[in-house]
Amino acid sequence: MEITELERRLDAVVAEDGIPFFVAATAGTTVRGAYDPIEPLLKLRDKYQFWLHVDGAWGGAAVMSEKLRKQYLSGLECADSFTWDFHKMLGRHSCAIFC
């Protein structure tokens, strides 16, 4: 997620008298395993008062490792909600072949 672009769009919502109410951060995309930066999102959440959800369905298992938690999920404990799917990061592959 591009934080500066998100803030620009949040400003646009507010400028039109809208109320930003929800942002979902990704903790591990399905194909590339990319993580959105949680700490900058927390700053925006505090500024705009939206609900910050972290979708860790794919990469949430990093929370079990102190090293990976610090590297990829720093600030997670301050998010408003978090989902985690145990089976996805712990060995289940997204592609397989049967002959």
pTM of the model: 0.85
Q: Is residue 98 part of a domain?
A: no
HSE (side-chain half, CA atoms, 13 Å) at 3: 11
Instruction: Give the separation between CA 71 and CA 66, rounded to whole angstroms.
Output: 9
Q: Is residue 24 part of a domain?
A: yes
Q: Is residue 44 part of a domain?
A: yes
Q: What is the domain count for the chain?
A: 1
Cα–Cα distances in angstroms (integers) from residue 60 to residues 34, 51, 65, 84, in the given order:
11, 19, 10, 5
Instruction: Give the separation between CA 47 and CA 67, rounded to whole angstroms.
Output: 29
Q: Is residue 37 part of a domain?
A: yes
**Comparing 20-24, 30-34, 71-75, which segment has the lowest mean pLDDT?**
30-34
Task: Grade residue 5 by pLDDT with cuts at 50, 70 and 90.
Answer: very high
Structural domain that includes position 7? 3-89
Short-list 90, 98, 96, 97, CA closest to 28: 90
- In single-letter form, the type of residue at position 56 comes to G
Task: Grade residue 31 by pLDDT with cuts at 50, 70 and 90.
Answer: confident
